[in-house]
Amino acid sequence: MGSTNSTLSKIPNVEELMQETGFTPAHIVRLYDRFEALDKEKTGHLRPQDFGAINRLAMNPIGDRIIGAFFSPGQETVDFHSFVRILAHFRPADKKHPKDPSMPEPVNSRTSKLKFAFQLYDQDKDGKISRAELLQVLRSMLEMQVTEEQLESIADRTIQEADLDKDDAISFEEFRKSLEKVNIDHKMSIRFLR
């Protein structure tokens, strides 16, 4: 594995990465090892198949969506930087740093986390979760025996609850508002990425 420093030196722009994401060098090294482990053909990039090889993801109803979130639209591969950037969303929020309005929003702030979650729903990237998109997600998360009518009724109800401007879609603001009581930091953080 080599020492931390030697591994770090292999990664280009690692300082910038650490600044941007807030990961410690030890973390970066660990994630790099993981990246290399996934990248079986040593191309330096990950393709969907590499993610697909992770056994457990197939057992996850939204596994494929998450995989998709790693790839920017149009891109076929993920390099290490993008990999780390996405994972940085799941860092627990830094409680100590005061909010500095001049600095850009940290990757693991509540808003960024919510944006990530929002993008999982909003596949066509139009800034709204349409009824069809919501239906798609619901379908994948509910058991097979739920019929189409039941699905639609749930989707309708959900949109009714969350949709404030009555456009039959959920915008990011409405999404955020509907989740204001939820402790996002708790729900969307992985402790070992601290």
Partner 1 sequence: MACRTCLWLLGTTFFTCTVRLVVEGTEVGATQGSHPEPGVVGSNHSQAGGGHGSSISGIQIVTFKWHHVEAPYLIALWILVAGVSKMVVELNHNLTSVIPESALLIIIGWILGGIIYGADKMQTFTLTPTVFFFYLLPQVILDAGYFMPNKLFFSNMGAILVYAVIGTCWNAATVGLGLWGCWLGGAMGDIDIGLLQFLLFGSLIAAVDPVAVIAVFEEVHVNEVLFIMVFGESLLNDGVTVVLFNVFDAFVSLGGAEIDAVEIIKGIISFFVVAFGGSLVGIIFALLISLLTRCTKNIQIIEPGFIFILGYLSYLTAEMLSLSAILSIVFCGICCQKYINANMDERSVTTVRYVMKVLANGSETIIFVFLGISAIDPAVWVWNTGFILLTLLFIFVFRFIGVFLLTWILNKYRLVPLEFIDQVVMSYGGLRGAVAYGLVAMLDENKFKEKNLMVSTTLIVVYFTVMLQGITMKPLVTWLKVKRAAVTELTLAEKIQNRTFDHMLVAIEDISGQIGHNYMRDKWHNFEERWLCWFLMKPSARKSRDYIFNIFHQLNLKDAMSYVKEVRATHKVRESHDNLILYLQTQDIVPSVCLDMHEQDLTMRESEDFNAHHLLQQHLYRGRKQHRHRYSRSHLETNRDENEVQEIFQRTMRSRLESFKSAKMGVAPAKKIQTKHQKKDKPQKVRGEGTFSPFLHVRPHSHPLIGNVMCMLIKPFRGRFSSALFIQSSKCGGVKMECHLVNIQKQKSRLGLLLLIPAFGTSTFKKGK
- Applying CB under 8 A, the residues found at the interface with partner 1 are 30-34, 36-38, 47-49, 51-68, 71, 73, 75-76, 87, 90, 117, 120, 123, 136-148, 150-151, 153-154, 157-158, 161-162, 178-179, 181-183, 187-188, 190-193
Q: Which of 16, 142 has the CB closer to partner 1?
A: 142
Q: Which of 64, 79 has the CB closer to partner 1?
A: 64
Residue 92: strand, helix, or coil: coil
Dihedral sign, Cα of residue 176, residue 65, residue 113, residue 190: positive
Minimum distance between the CB of residue 17 and partner 1, rounded to whole angstroms?
A: 15
- Residue carrying structure tokens 């950037």: 85
User: How would you class 115 by CB atoms within 10 Å of its CB: exposed for 0-12, middle for 13-18, buried for 19 or more?
Assistant: middle
Minimum distance between the CB of residue 40 and partner 1, rounded to whole angstroms?
A: 10
Q: Which of 100, 180 has the CB closer to partner 1?
A: 180
Phi-psi region of 97 (alpha: psi -120 to 50; beta: other; left: phi over 0): beta
Going by C-beta distance under 8 Å and a sequence separation of 6 or more, which residues neighbour residue 147? none
Minimum distance between the CB of residue 5 and partner 1, rounded to whole angstroms?
A: 17
Q: Which of 16, 132 has the CB closer to partner 1?
A: 132
Would you say 122 and 133 are in contact if contact means Cβ atoms under 8 Å apart?
A: yes
Instruction: For 93-103, give one letter per residue: b (16+ CB within 10 A) or e.
Output: beeeeeeeeee
Minimum distance between the CB of residue 35 and partner 1, rounded to whole angstroms?
A: 8
Q: Which of 8, 193 has the CB closer to partner 1?
A: 193
Minimum distance between the CB of residue 113 and partner 1, rounded to whole angstroms?
A: 9
Q: What secondary structure letter does DSSP report for 98? A: P
